[in-house]
Amino acid sequence: MEESPSSTLLDGNITGIRFVLATRQEICTSSNSDCPINHASQLSNPFLGLPLECGKCESCGTAEPGKCEGHFGYIELPIPIYHPSHVSELKRMLSLLCLKCLKMKNRKVKNIGVLERSLASCCEESPQISIDEIKTTDGACSLKLKLPSRSRLREGCWNFLERYGFRYGDDFCRTLLASEVMVILKKLPGETRKKLTGKGFFPQDGYILQYLPVPPNCLSVPDISDGISVMSSDLSTTMLKKVLKQVEIIKSSRSGTPNFESHEVEANDLQTAVAQYLQVRGTAKASRGMGTRFGISKEPNDSSTKAWLEKMKTLFIRKGSGFSSRSVITGDPYKGVDEIGLPFEIAQRITFEERVNQHNMKYLQKLVDEKLCLTYRDGLSTYSLREGSKGHTFLRPGQVVHRRIMDGDIVFINRPPTTHKHSLQALSVYVHDDHTVKINPLICGPLSADFDGDCVHLFYPQSLAAKAEVLELFSVEKQLLSSHSGNLNLQLATDSLLSLKMMFKNYFLNRAAAQQLAMFALNSLPRPALLKGFRSGPLWTALQMLQTALPASFDCCGERHLICKSEILNVDFNRDVMQSVINDIVTSIFFEKGPNEVLRFFNSLQPLLMENLFSEGFSVDLEDFSIPRAVIENIQKNIQEISPLLYHLRSTYNELVELQLENHLRLVKIPVANFILKSSAMGNLIDSKSDSAINKVVQQIGFLGLQLSDKGKFYSGALVGDMASLFQNKYPFSADYPSEEFGLVRSCLFHGLDPYQEMVHSISSREVIVRSSRGLTEPGTLFKNLMAILRDVVICYDGTVRNVCSNSIIQFEYGVKDGTKPQSLFAAGEPVGVLAATAMSNPAYKAVLDSSPSSNSSWEMMKEILLCAVNFKNDLFDRRVILYLNDCDCGRKYCRENAAYLVKNQLKKVSLKDTAVEFLIEYKGQQATYESSEIEGGLVGHVHLNKMQLKDSNISMLEVLEKCQETISSFRKKKKLGHFFKRIALSVSECCSFHQSGESKWVDLPCLKFFWQDTSDHHLDRTSHILADTIFPVLLETIIKGEPRVCTANIIWISPDTTTWIRNPCKSQKGELALDVVLEKEAVKRSGDSWRIILDSCLPIIHLIDTRRSIPYSIKQVQELLGISCAFEQAVQRLSTSVTMVTKGVLKEHLILLANSMTCAGNLIGFNM
């Protein structure tokens, strides 16, 4: 009876696993082929496994890729070389050995006796031999033996190496070949191996390479080609071919046994090729912690890691692939919004994959016969159809055909950089014979593109699943509403609005014009409004042409329009509101008729308007740029009047002065804007409500305006000062306050600039360029932090907003409630966290790219909220408080202004230095009568003060005396200087008669006098130095009025649209005065001190301050003093204001989600990584 198979099985336990480098025997055993690879064509041999272009694996015989695990091959090297990744470890191990006897080095050989020295004579000189690692720039590594240069070189000092290979060398240095190290490792005694193991080294045969493994085909990246050129290839295969080429060179160059020099050269060349291959392919690294264990520092070699990352980026991360293209875009308004024109030269190179079945076999066969297919695949074999195969190739079900792109195919486009989901749009293809990609101008809005050379990336989804996903996520009708603001993404562009303005300006159209435009209408042309006009036939109105694009049975009403059953009964066609009227109508179509009707409306209206523009024509001539001379003279006069404001703003920055300057410049621009909008054809091309558009035209034909500023710019304030000095040197006899000296250019681009004005304008223009490169680091970091934290935040089906990773609730409900029905644009499962991150990143980028003061303050405000620190740092924001004033309702003029100055005078510190005018020292004789006081003779110091400034600050001389006496008393207690101040006496006078001769302007000024008591005439010089250098500087720092802990107290203007830290209950919509107070850094020790200190300082005038609205500026201070709910409200309000300053707005849902994400844990935490 035969034994069962199970009886032959042996049981065992695994006692250990050892990881070592593969030896040459293991490399040969792992290969299924007995012969090494000798030629580059064998690198993709069938015995290396699947995948293959055709056939089956010759090692295991399978043809299914899932069943073949791959098989290794190997390359036999003609000469042993070092393993590139373990040369350093091998060097450290050999440094412990005596290369003569292969024992561990005895480093105390000099201290032993004669007998021991004779027994260990072979190791006497071994400690002197050092081993160095040599690395070349091309990646080759080798070991070199070295004797000390100070030692005496004996003849035959390297002869002991003959037992390992070569007897060579007569210098202090000598290369240690890999073949010699291989012999050394084989001859190591067992006792030495044990000692090396105890020190953490394990001698292995794998340190020396004799065979190089070749990976299976499944581990190699196949070449990706479009049939003409190779678009992606495996770099490691190229490196292996280089190794094989070097092997062939070495074998062919030999004519016998190589000597030492030949061996060294061959090893270096082969070492370089193998090192480059392993860097690309990647290999095992040296044992972790080996260098650290023995106190050896090592520079990391990241070359292989970089190569691997580059490969991953090339194959998986990058946007480019074999099924993508890139091209310049141009406009085609006569095509649909959801269509894209593809050049024929691109369409014939890119293919779509179609699997043949019974339903499409006839259609695909026709494409093959018409030469519209490039290749087809049958099983694992691919066949070319480039030359056409009509009558020779017959398709069968199951085959895969790669056909060219045709009309109606779906692609999606992207214009980088991609910061929101609407920059990906799925469009339907139509092929044309031009050389650019054509899109409808309306789609430029969501892509943030224009036609000045912008390029787009096109991607061609291949599988049915990919096409379905593209249509569901990226189609135009699915993205009509912006996920950022909730407004329409598609809006009429400048040329369409121009045509609409011209149409309503003419209003009536004759039969020929109406019928020409009716070819593009959705509905038929209605009956004419006038059956017969004066000297003309029937006439149609512009309203009738506009309503031909409306959907059937459409009703809509608004403040400026009324539509009933697709008939426009009333509309306000004023050009200032025309854009908003069209947007209201389209929004009504979207919510009543659906997105498809919106596309039909635009696809009809856009070509209709373009046809009208081409028929009527539009031109701009030089008269449209020529402003009347009287207007120009008035502009120059007004600019000259505001030059003093520039001088005061440059000398002492004040927010009120800056606001006053902006208002004056805005008034100067009004005549130019009126000329543009009323008397120039350019008024039809610009948006009258857009300040940026008006400003650009004002710069062209009016004046450039303020170009340089010493605050909020990337260029330094020193550059602004240098430009002012240059102007003074160039124009020494200019007016008292020349505007150009302070960066305000009065000339325009139309009339030309002089060299100085051109330089000023160049500095201002370069600011934008610098911001677009260097300034995007901060918003880029913010965007990455927002995405990293919010990418897992989605709407769940219970209506809550959660982080799906931690399942933590961020928000209980999403959407703004309108009555009892929640209104939201987003369904369950929507990644609202990502949408909020992208919605916030767009205004952040815009705020940095724009160099205007409002954009700078907007970006600073965003950082204050989104990047707020967790801990108290005592920054400027932590020491800042905004104080609002009570409205007394007394009806008197300037009541609030007076209250603001009273609070400012109470808080703002005034030192003696601020009021001091002159310092003099007077000598008085013995027992002189001075100012009705009997004093002994000596030196008297006089500090003359500004009488008007003391009066404005409401400071009396008695108060000055009292404060100065407190200062003197405090300094009398100091050890080093106390004895000086003990001899000082103070007095004041309202009118001092002592002054410099000839300086009558300082006569009769208030004076602070200090006397030096008990002095003699022999020390007058020393005493005068003490008064001037010690006593006088201390008195100057004395605070005679205000709060010493306050750094600055400024009156600011708060307009309603910039009120971010409070909920503004002010009845006036014009704004109000407030105080911006900042404390000294030394006065604030912990969080909340600034608020407490300022309120304590305001107790005498607390009735003037509105404590209900006054609040700390720092959002973290708001949280600590008023609670997390108040901090949440302030975060939403400030984010809303900062965003509104640079863009049209962001959905409040996004801002609320950002604030909830920062406060959901009960503590305000910014998006800092």
Q: Are residues 901 and 933 in the same domain?
A: no
3-state DSSP percent of the chain in helix, strand and coil, to 5: 45, 20, 40
Q: For residue 459, is it within any domain?
A: yes
Q: In 3-state terms, what secondary structure has residue 1103?
A: helix
Per DSSP, helices labelled H in 867-993 are 895-907, 912-915, 947-952, 957-971, 978-981
Q: Are residues 322 and 468 in the same domain?
A: yes
Question: Rounded to an integer, what distance in angstroms lies between the CA atom of residue 1113 and that of residue 1090?
Answer: 10
Residue 392 vs residues 54, 365, 369, 389: alpha-carbon distances, Å? 22, 11, 9, 5
Question: Rounded to an integer, what distance in angstroms lies between the CA atom of residue 132 and that of residue 152?
Answer: 20
Q: In 3-state terms, what secondary structure has residue 588?
A: helix
Q: Are residues 984 and 1016 in the same domain?
A: yes
Q: For residue 800, is it within any domain?
A: yes
Phi, psi of 365 (to 5 degrees): -65, -40
pLDDT at 1060: 43
Q: Are residues 631 and 533 in the same domain?
A: no
Question: Rounded to an integer, what distance in angstroms lies between the CA atom of residue 349 and that of residue 228?
Answer: 9
Q: List own/partner pairs for 815-819 with CB under 8 A and 24 or more apart.
A: 815/1149, 816/1148, 816/1149
Q: Are residues 342 and 462 in the same domain?
A: yes
Position of tokens 């407190």? 966
Position of tokens 């001379």? 629
Amino acid 951 reads K
Q: For residue 912, is it within any domain?
A: no
Residue 526 preceded by cis peptide, ω within 30: no
According to DSSP, the β-strands at 744-745 and 793-795 are unpaired
pLDDT at 660: 79
pLDDT at 306: 58
pLDDT digit string (tens) for 261-320?
888 888 888 988 888 888 887 654 443 333 333 333 344 445 555 555 665 555 544 545
pLDDT at 173: 87
Which candidate, 1153, 1149, 1148, places its Cα nearest to that of 1136?
A: 1148
Q: Is the pLDDT of residue 116 over 50?
A: no
According to DSSP, the β-strands at 561-564 and 567-571 are antiparallel
Q: Is the pLDDT of residue 28 over 60?
A: yes
Which candidate, 116, 366, 89, 110, places its Cα nearest to that of 201?
A: 89
Q: For residue 28, is it within any domain?
A: no
Q: DSSP letter at 122?
A: G
Question: Rounded to an integer, what distance in angstroms lies between the CA atom of residue 943 and that of residue 917?
Answer: 7
pLDDT, average across residues 1089-1111: 86
DSSP per residue, 805-873: TTTEEEES--SEEETTEEE-S--TT--HHHHHHHHHHHHHHHHHH--SHHHHHHHHHHHHHHT--SS--
Q: Are residues 1107 and 1022 in the same domain?
A: no
Amino acid 635 reads I
| 11 φ/ψ sector (left φ>0, alpha ψ -120 to 50, else beta) | beta
Q: Are residues 1019 and 885 in the same domain?
A: no
Question: Rounded to an integer, what distance in angstroms lies between the CA atom of residue 372 and that of residue 391?
Answer: 15
Q: Is the pLDDT of residue 969 over 90?
A: no
Label residue 603 by pLDDT band (50, 70, 90): very high
Domain range for 127 is 81-143+158-209
Label residue 4 by pLDDT band (50, 70, 90): very low
Which candidate, 825, 771, 795, 804, places its Cα nearest to that of 482?
A: 825
What is the overall mean pLDDT for the chain?
80
CA dihedral 668→670→675→681, nearest 10 degrees, is 120
Q: Is the pLDDT of residue 114 over 50?
A: no
Label residue 727 by pLDDT band (50, 70, 90): confident
Question: Rounded to an integer, what distance in angstroms lies between the CA atom of residue 85 and that of residue 163?
Answer: 27
If one counts the domains in the chain, the total is 7
Q: For residue 271, is it within any domain?
A: no
- 990 burial level (CB within 10 Å; 0-12, 13-18, 19+): exposed
Q: Are residues 450 and 325 in the same domain?
A: yes
Which candidate, 395, 384, 386, 392, places its Cα nearest to that of 348?
A: 386
Q: What is the 3-state secondary structure (H, E, C) of 535-580?
A: CCCCEEEHHHHHHCCCCCCCCEECCCEEEECCEEEEECCCCCCHHH
Q: Are residues 1026 and 1052 in the same domain?
A: no
Burial 288-308 (b: 16+ CB within 10 A, else e): eebeeeeeeeeeebeebeebe
* Angle at which helices 1124-1140 and 1148-1159 cross, to 10°: 140
| Domain limit, last residue, from 766, 790, 812 | 766
Q: Are residues 1062 and 1121 in the same domain?
A: yes
Q: For residue 418, is it within any domain?
A: yes
CA–centroid distance for 273 within its chain: 40
Q: Which residue has the higher pLDDT, 1016 or 27?
A: 27
List the single range of 150-164, 237-251, 610-624 with lowest mean pLDDT. 150-164
Position of tokens 């035959």? 156
Q: DSSP letter at 711?
A: S
Question: Rounded to an integer, what distance in angstroms lies between the CA atom of residue 613 and that of residue 611?
Answer: 5
Q: Is the pLDDT of residue 125 over 50?
A: yes
CA angle 677, 682, 686 (to 5 degrees): 75
Q: For residue 7, is it within any domain?
A: no
List the single range of 11-25, 325-339, 497-511 with lowest mean pLDDT. 11-25
Q: Are residues 512 and 574 in the same domain?
A: yes
Q: For residue 695, is it within any domain?
A: yes
Share of the chain above pLDDT 90, in %: 8
Half-sphere exposure of 267 (CA within 13 A, CB side): 25
Tokens of 1139: 């965003």
Residue 149 vs residues 152, 177, 383, 873: alpha-carbon distances, Å? 8, 22, 69, 58
Half-sphere exposure of 603 (CA within 13 A, CB side): 17
pLDDT at 119: 41
Q: Are residues 456 and 473 in the same domain?
A: yes
Which candidate, 605, 617, 613, places its Cα nearest to that of 546?
A: 605
CATH of the domain at 337: 2.40.40.20
Amino acid 803 reads N
pLDDT digit string (tens) for 178-189?
888 888 888 888
Question: Rounded to an integer, what distance in angstroms lies between the CA atom of residue 229 and that of residue 1034?
Answer: 83
Q: Is the pLDDT of residue 622 over 80?
A: yes
Label residue 409 by pLDDT band (50, 70, 90): very high
Label residue 193 by pLDDT band (50, 70, 90): confident
pLDDT at 437: 93
The residues, any chain, with a CB within 8 Å of residue 1015's CB and separated by 6 or more, are 938, 939, 983, 1023
Contact between residue 885 and residue 1101 where contact means Cβ atoms under 8 Å apart: no
pLDDT digit string (tens) for 977-1005?
787 888 788 888 888 777 654 444 445 78
Q: Is the pLDDT of residue 821 over 80?
A: no
Contact between residue 969 and residue 994 where contact means Cβ atoms under 8 Å apart: no
CA angle 302, 307, 309 (to 5 degrees): 95
Question: Rounded to an integer, what distance in angstroms lies between the CA atom of residue 850 and that of residue 767?
Answer: 9
